[in-house]
Structure 1
Amino acid sequence: MKELLAKPVMFISNDELSALCIYLNDEYRKGCPLVSDNEFDDIYLAELKFRQPNHPLLTHPQPENFGVESTQVDVSDRIKHAIPMLSTNKAYSVDEVSNFVARCEAAAIEAGVEPSSLTYRLSAKLDGIAGKLLNSGTLLVTRGDGVVGNNISHLLENGLVIMGDGSKDSVGEIVMEQAYFDANLADKFAHPRNVVAGIAASRNINEFALKALKDGAVRLVIYRDMPVKTVDKETLIQHIDLFSEKFKEYTQYPTDGLVIEITDEATKAVLGSTSHHNNWMLAKKNHGETAIVEVKEVRYQVGRTGRITPVVEFASVFLSGCSIERATGHHVRNILANKIAIGAKIEIVRSGEVVPSCLRVVSVSDNEPVDPISCPCCGHKVEWVESNSGELPLFKECQNPNCSAQAVTTIMYHFKTLKADLFGEKTVEKLVDGGHVKIEDIYHLTIDEIQKCGLGAGQAANLISEIERIKSSEIADNLILASLGIHKLGRGQASKMLEHHTIADIASNGITAKELIKIAGFGKLISISISDSINEQLLRLNFLIGQFSKIVDTKSSVPIDTNGVLSGLNVVFTGAMESGSRDEMKARAKQLGANVQSSVNGKTNYLICGNKVGAKKIQEAEAKGAKMISEHEYLIMINK
């Protein structure tokens, strides 16, 4: 890895870059960073996002030890989360925050909530390690990969201070007091987070970190008990930078931006979540550095779905700690509308993990912008993708289903989703060039056929071995469905679908938009798109089901008592609950046979009310004949 660190990132291959980023991430989360935060985010991770936007480091919550099991934490201390601990989606500009607000308002309309009534809860984004406190404050688990975390309860035994109510299950951030770090550890560690990461990754705590624990400087700050400010849309957009500065000024721990959360529960339910993050929450980070450059070239590349995206190239410029030579042009319409062509001067920005992008055009040139009429990979005709809003379309797509660029990214995405190794870009390119352009083709490959594609005997044997490994291992049905690469059908949405329909039923009978719309988080337009795409790939889905011998079924993995006390009842949860998180209470209600709804309708039997229930929600329940009961009354009902 030292040799790779010595190379300019542009000369590192895709496979090397992937391995290096995983390695650097591992070391960072152990508390032993080999490069600075800025170097990792602005050079290596940004380059990874540019080349491999679907890499697990970018699409999944980042675990403490991503590449391999930690050698410091025993495997027996790995604990599966009852409900996945998700990461937080990030934004770096006011425009991105405005887009988030627009999505919230659209979801509010779908939920029957007046968009102008929406408010947003703001809090400091603490810079530490996420942890979940369980069993009345006796068990502490890291987020890990979002599904399985490490048991770090030894920190509780060594002096970790709980900031907030730790008597009930809670999620929070393990952080170190900034003033303590500055006074005692700044000459020994680069950042307070490094100390926290180190003590979370090993039971053998060094003397400095152990003293910090004993001195009460390391704390678990419970998110729900943190200071917050609630604002409307206009105040949020107008003063967002001021709020970020004020939270940082009055927070005694390291901060990394501002967390924005929609407060309306019905809107939250419509927004839902992905396998990576909750769609109703956003972390606004500070804007990156900018530079004005002259465009040398605009070239187009092809993604997994055939979408054509522009890349703007320019003379090397030093920005955010590294030299960069290209930035994303976002979409074809942006290039044409803003006349981004050779000779134009543009302002670019690089922020954190985000690949460099065009902020604005400073001056245009006499050259005309390039409007792609054919695919840069296969030469096939490209066409505009019609916009659902009726506005001018933004994107163009290659219409050739056998486009080799699409085949490469589709195959790579499939195997990454199934958590298979070795299927890097260069490897898959050779397989596709050899005529193996479909996912099914890869499963049928022999060692001889792989070697004919230009790969060595050893690599060929390893690929076959890896395919056999995933075929014989336990694999969740949502991963198989998500691996089809259908737009807007990631692991999270696939799990929601498979709670209601088994993968075998879908493969046999397909699925309709009407069936999807009934599932929380599936809107009308996306339901039509997803159902059409699934039904087009039924042959592939049936093929994949036949390849795996140990498919874990989502619908049956959570036992449902068909004779439970809530069997056949439609229930809605609203307000702030005291006996557990909303997701935990919904999961328990489902186990007891209830159909948990996202909002009240004519079929709702019970509206279960926690604290701070809005008047509008109560009026809706009364108008639609739903019975309102308190959380306490609900608990008596289910525990009879």
Structure 2
Amino acid sequence: MTSAHSGSTPRHADPDENPYVESPPTDFEPVASLSEDEAAEQASLLRAAVREHDHRYYVEADPLVPDEAYDRLFARLRELEDAFDLPTENSPTRRIGGRPLDELETVEHVAPMRSIDNSTDAEAVRAFDERVRKGLDAEGFDPGGVEYVCEPKFDGLSVEVVYEDGEYARAATRGDGTAGDDVTEQIRTIRSVPGKLRGDPPSRLAVRGEAYMPRDAFEAYNEELIERGEEPFANPRNAAAGTLRQLDPSVVAERPLDVFFFDVLAWETDGEGTARGEDGPESGPPDRPGTHWAEFDAFDAFGLRRADRVERVPDIEGALDYRDRLMADREGLNYAIDGVVIAVDDRAHREALGSTARAPRWAFAYKFPPRTATTTVEGVTVQVGRTGRLTPVAELDPVDVGGVTVSRATLHNPAEIEALGVNVGDRVRIYRAGDVIPYVPEVVEKRSEGTYAFPESCPICDAPVERDGPLAFCTGGLGCPAQLDRAIEHWARRDALDIEGLGPERVEQLREAELVESLPDLYDLAVDDLAALEGWGETSAENLIAELEATREPPLDDFLAGLGIPDVGATTARALAAHFGDLDAIIDADGDELRAVDDVGPEVAESIRTFLDTEENRAAIEGLRERGVDPESVDVDAGEALDGLTFVFTGSLSTTRGEAQAHVEAHGANATSSVSGNTDYLVAGESPGRSKRNDADAEGVPLLDEGEFAELLAERGVAWPPEGDE
């Protein structure tokens, strides 16, 4: 058998030509002393060097410089780009997160991303091998010449990443295999994903990878969630999937995601290659490797991270042995796997075997068996999250499940408890489907009387608990300490009040020091109080106070988004502000009046009313206003130039979609998130979503590019792009 290979590969930056690669100078001359050409040249060197440092740290785990030096190089690059308005497309500085999105668009894949047939039975794997050999024999190949490449089967989220001329261009989730969610900005933030490929890649390269959260990072992140009173992720796969579907790339940038690449979906050279599915064309571009094993060498050359536990074996028995060895080692891996993938190595063999409508005939997943154990429930703890949701957790007599000691398991919600009929003292089965956070699928021996009685009041603030279907919620709102920590963090988010310097650690510190017992208390903070805290100085204290002072007259939509009303994000907050004009009108609005707002349905209207009718939440709002935090009113009659028109936006425009919507609404138009028969125009920027275009075709809605949109607005006396505050 052959183990995963390595060797010398091209670099992003040559230390003989780039001074910022090895022992880099970090004392830079003032930006003001540089000419534009000098700044552009230095920025180019810094980008190449930072890419090299990212690769060495995140892909090879062999850093060239200490963290402090890297931080200074990165900060200098960002300083140059900002000062000279240098282009930042695919610059490493884009990894910190771009503008929040309003929704995830649907995009078509370059080639199908098929599923793989699978089994936990060794005989099914041998049957797969027999089908491969028979199929090759029928196509005129020597069935004895087949070799297999064996790889870990990652338990993450499959993604397609496309490079054009070596530059990062697009990323999408697998979706239905034909089209998926556009997660270009989210994947861009992952540091192991190169913004620019090394070496000499093809003109177009589409690769398939698996986005995942490393186990150690996952466990640390879950501990943080639990400490904040939020529900932890059940497993790393859920963590990865939930993170990639975040609309704000800056949130993704803060979470510890990584990617392994494992397959080529398309390889085009000089524009003459053919995008290929997993069957491939009859003959690919001549410079594409002829084997999957050689494609891994190409990944190394391009700087694409791949798994180290990859082997090539001469027969199916070698593949079975690989699976058994990897299963024995799985606990020592820093990523979750649920089996191995066995794939024919030779591409000509793959093309001869082809695929079914669902799966390739040349690959098979040999999965690990699920891991279970039985133990006793010793108690039940109920956790409270930011939204007030109560999550029951079973405290267990510690038990070994697949080599891991388990002492806690989620019970999901009160409806699940009732369905299981579980109570303290019962013997239960523990199932680790996701390898990390276990759950209870059944009671195997009833040793108690009755079912656990879910609390009728919040275990943190003693407020009444209300049921919403299978779930339970604390009604204490912003008055519940468990909800308050996250409410403060939410208030400070970029898509809310955007208060720099008020992250989770500082919120926790302020709460522990008893300086903030409610949201309005933020505006009673003094420099002396903050400067006395560990890790603070007078400057950092003054900066936070200045940030808070700047939010005393926030835009109405930011204020609403910052309150953390369930189901009210930035888009709905903007629609409420545009419709009602001021905070009092929203507070006084009944359900029917709320439902009259675009994108506010019955459930969202009920959510808003429930939040505003909760005494603790109203007290927090009044407390903010008493301290001078009063949102600016919106002139709902700001203009009528676009009166009667309804727009839908898709793709990337020269401004954010939210700003585009606010701009047309300020001039009397409606802006909605989906195309219908009432839509007058669909405005498409770069990389528009397929589903909205299809809906526009079906409804006969005209499609405008950004230039045509600007002309339409100009005809009505409205400037585009927005020139500032209306």
Instruction: Calculate the TM-score normalised by the size of structure 2.
Output: 0.44
Calculate the TM-score normalised by the size of structure 1. 0.49
Larger radius of gyration: 2
